[in-house]
Structure 1
């Protein structure tokens, strides 16, 4: 299982949001670029960045995101405001390893399918779930889609994966969140990346054994030092298979 150390950026700062509310961010007083370098130094093979300003159509973090991509030394999975082919291709050209598309996939499913066709295994679908339905517009709009029906619409697209967030359990109920995400993972052929489920190292150990969970995004718990990244990476490694001894 891949651990994706995660940075959420707003106005050039690392933040964490509660249920997606930008009016109540937790601001972490760390250097985003040095933090990204630290992720790589700890042994991470991927990292995830969400540009919160880009979700609102702003480009104030563009230079910072570019610097993180250049400095990280590992592939960066980038989300935030991808609503056009031009923007997707611009960031792939700038070195983003993967692009995460959320709201636009609900508004224009053909857009996601086309991006996945032109950039196979570089496009990730974000599915945010609240009370059994997919949410859009940064968790603000309740859609008519159930997550199971929604993801099946993209079964044939060559996606790199699907990030699933159970918003209802994002803060309070880790086990419930794992249950929702594992149920969705069973409904798709695409590898699923869990978000919002890891608060302590035991959560990684639980996720590791859920079928079709290929990774987990970990942000707040790393920045709060509730989890050590090197330890998290070690737990996420596959268990060694027993080998027979031959004389």
Structure 2
């Protein structure tokens, strides 16, 4: 299972949001470039970056985010404010490995189909669930899609996968979001990345045995030092199959 160390960037700093609320961000690191380099040096195979300014329609830190992509030295999964075809093509041209589409996916299925075929294995559809519906506009608006219907509609496309977040339980108990995400993962063939669910190494250990969950975003738990990235990567590695002794 893949661990995606996750950084949310607002006004050039790494921040923590409570249930995705942008009204009261907590700054925890003023040097995101040092963070991405540390994650890569520790062994991360991917890094997930979110441009929170772009989520709000402010694209003034685009060049700063592009510098972070270059500094990472490993593939970047990029999210935040990707609402037009040009946004997608620009970021892929800038070298990101994948782009994460949320609002666009909820509103323009035809464009998602075109992008998925043009950029196979580089498009990730984000499914942010609140009270049984898929949220848009950075979790600020309720869309018309139900999560399972949306995922099944996009499942035949050559996507890199889905990211699923249970917003209802973003900072609450692990059991309910685990049940929701694992149920949605079983309903599609495309790989699913779990979000907002890892608090401890035990959560990672459980996730890696859930059918069709190919990875998890890990952000706040690393920031709050519940564990370090090296231990997360080690926990996520598959355990070797037992080999029968030769007689």
Asked whether the equivalents of residues 129 and 147 of structure 1 are also in contact (C-alpha less than 8 Å), the reply is yes
Q: Distance in 2 between matches of 1:85 and 1:140?
A: 22
For residues 141 and 13 of structure 1, the distance between their equivalents in structure 2, rounded to whole angstroms, comes to 25
Greater shift, 46-55 or 57-66, is seen at 57-66
How far off its partner does 1:143 sit?
2.2
Supply the distance in 1 between the matched residues of 2:39 and 2:31 (Cα, whole angstroms).
12
User: Is 2:135 aligned against 1:149?
Assistant: no
Whether the 8 Å CA contact 2:105–2:112 is kept in 1: the answer is yes
- Within 5 Å, which residues of 2 pair with 1:222-241? 222-241=222-241
Q: What CA distance in whole angstroms lies between the structure 2 residues aligned with 1:177 and 1:122?
A: 26
> Aligned pair count?
247
Query: For residue 35 of structure 2, what is the aligned residue in structure 1?
Result: 35
Tell me the residue number matched to 1:177. Answer: 177
1:113 deviation in Å?
A: 1.2
| TM-score with structure 1 setting the length | 0.97
Give the equivalent residue in structure 1 for 2:101.
101
Distance in structure 2 (CA, Å) of the matches to 1:175 and 1:64: 37
User: Distance in 1 between the 2:111 and 2:72 partners?
Assistant: 29
Contact 1:9–1:61 (8 Å) recurs in 2: no
Deviates more, 1:139-148 or 1:100-109: 139-148
| Structure 2 unmatched runs, 5+ | none
> Deviations along 1:100-136, whole A, 9 cap, x unmatched?
0001111111111111110000000000001111111
Cα distance per residue 1:131-152 (max 9 Å; x no partner): 1111111111122321111111
Aligned to 1:153, the other structure's residue is in SS state helix
Q: Does residue 63 of structure 1 match 2:44? A: no
Match of 1:212 in 2: 212
Aligned to 1:164: 164
Q: 2:245 is matched with which residue?
A: 245
> CA–CA distance in 2 between the matches of 1:235 and 1:6?
17
Distance 2:113 2:16 in 1: 30
C-alpha contact (below 8 Å) 1:19/1:139 kept by paired residues: no
Distance 1:238 1:75 in 2: 21
Runs of 4+ in 1 over 3 A off after TM superposition: none
Shift of 1:228: 0.8
